[in-house]
């Protein structure tokens, strides 16, 4: 099965050895699309030593300045976390996540995101994810080495792809016929527009936007809107802005009279 729509994204990896070992883990499991967000020294000898034959995947890695750029074009984003954070983000176990990743990769780009060695993914980085996944481990010592975590997830993806039976309908249950799920850039633009309007109508305090925006992003990420639905929502926001402007102009005219 073709796994080329599945990208592995490492956010700010600090050890070149891990970057190399993750490339090897990917290649073992048929994954090739490697994205690195601000890595420290990935063209390091240690990275190549640990890639051990997966230099093509390592050399083919695309480097981005931000996570948003690395996610561009992806319809599904899954973040990994050593600690279960299911209270805040919908979570899947590794097997279910791999099945979903494989299924959705038939329809478009999918990203599996890993955090930095010391800090993991921040809440702001997890905001971009539709789901989180934690590899079950001893609760007293649940944080795996970064490249080992890549290996476990890549293996699950390999297994899911080998067992994959396409469903009767090629269209995902979450989007209707003739539509496609909104991409991460479309969602980001919608969130920016939503935040702008919520500030304009004074529903949101610009000094403290994060909590409300996080809840709203979670809501929309959970519902997986398609491109038509995002267009409708953006249209509503634009109409709100136009009517706000109308009210503003009217009050200004009245105060001038």
Residues near ligand SAH (CB under 6 A): 80-83, 114-115, 117, 120-121, 134-135, 137, 142-144, 146, 149
Could you give the angle at the alpha carbon of 38 between the alpha carbons of 36 and 41, nearest 5°?
A: 90
Smallest distance from the beta carbon of 21 to ligand SAH, in angstroms?
A: 12
Sheet containing strand 109-114, edge to edge, reads 62-64, 33-37, 6-11, 109-114, 74-80, 131-133, 91-92
Report H helices in the chain.
16-28, 45-51, 55-59, 67-71, 94-105, 123-126, 146-162, 184-200, 210-223, 227-256
Q: Is the CB of 106 or the CB of 144 nearer to ligand SAH?
A: 144
Smallest distance from the beta carbon of 43 to ligand SAH, in angstroms?
A: 21
Tokens of 45: 């000898």
Q: Is the CB of 39 or the CB of 115 nearer to ligand SAH?
A: 115
Tokens of 255: 């105060």
Alpha-carbon distances of 154 from 98, 108, 169, 173, 254, rounded to whole Å: 8, 18, 26, 25, 65
Q: Is the CB of 10 or the CB of 198 nearer to ligand SAH?
A: 10
CA distance 237 to 134: 36
Smallest distance from the beta carbon of 80 to ligand SAH, in angstroms?
A: 4
Q: Is the CB of 114 or the CB of 131 nearer to ligand SAH?
A: 114
Smallest distance from the beta carbon of 34 to ligand SAH, in angstroms?
A: 15
Smallest distance from the beta carbon of 162 to ligand SAH, in angstroms?
A: 22
Q: Do residues 12 and 38 lie in contact, with contact meaning Cβ atoms separated by under 8 Å?
A: yes
Could you give the angle at the alpha carbon of 110 between the alpha carbons of 105 and 111, nearest 5°?
A: 150
Q: Is the CB of 142 or the CB of 179 nearer to ligand SAH?
A: 142
- Residue with token string 């503003």: 248
Q: Is the CB of 33 or the CB of 134 nearer to ligand SAH?
A: 134
Smallest distance from the beta carbon of 142 to ligand SAH, in angstroms?
A: 5
Smallest distance from the beta carbon of 140 to ligand SAH, in angstroms?
A: 12
Q: For the chain, state the CA radius of gyration.
A: 21
- Which residue in the shown chain puts its C-beta closest to ligand SAH? 120
Q: Is the CB of 111 or the CB of 204 nearer to ligand SAH?
A: 111
């Amino acid at each position: 099965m073709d796994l080329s729509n599945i990208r592995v994204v490492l956010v700010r990896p600090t050890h070149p050895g891990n970057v190399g070992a993750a490339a090897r883990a990917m290649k073992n499991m048929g994954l090739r699309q490697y994205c690195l967000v601000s890595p420290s020294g990935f063209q390091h000898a240690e990275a190549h030593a640990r890639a051990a034959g997966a230099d093509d995947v390592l050399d083919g890695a695309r480097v981005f300045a931000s996570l948003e750029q690395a996610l561009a074009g992806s319809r599904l984003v899954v973040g990994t976390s050593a600690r279960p954070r299911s209270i805040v983000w919908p979570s899947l176990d590794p097997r279910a996540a791999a099945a979903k990743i494989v299924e959705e990769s038939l329809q478009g780009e999918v990203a599996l995101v890993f955090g930095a060695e010391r800090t993991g993914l921040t809440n702001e980085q997890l905001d971009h994810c539709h789901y989180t996944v934690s590899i079950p481990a001893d609760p007293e010592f649940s944080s795996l080495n970064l490249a080992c975590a890549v290996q476990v997830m890549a293996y699950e993806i390999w297994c899911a792809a080998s067992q994959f039976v396409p469903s009767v309908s090629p269209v995902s249950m979450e989007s209707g016929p003739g539509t496609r799920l909104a991409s991460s850039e479309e969602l980001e633009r919608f969130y920016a527009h939503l935040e702008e309007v919520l500030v304009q109508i004074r529903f949101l305090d610009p000094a403290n936007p994060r909590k409300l925006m996080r809840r709203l992003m979670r809501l929309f990420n959970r519902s997986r809107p398609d491109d038509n639905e995002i267009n409708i929502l953006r249209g509503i926001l634009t109409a709100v802005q136009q009517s706000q402007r109308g009210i503003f102009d009217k009050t200004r005219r009245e105060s001038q009279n």
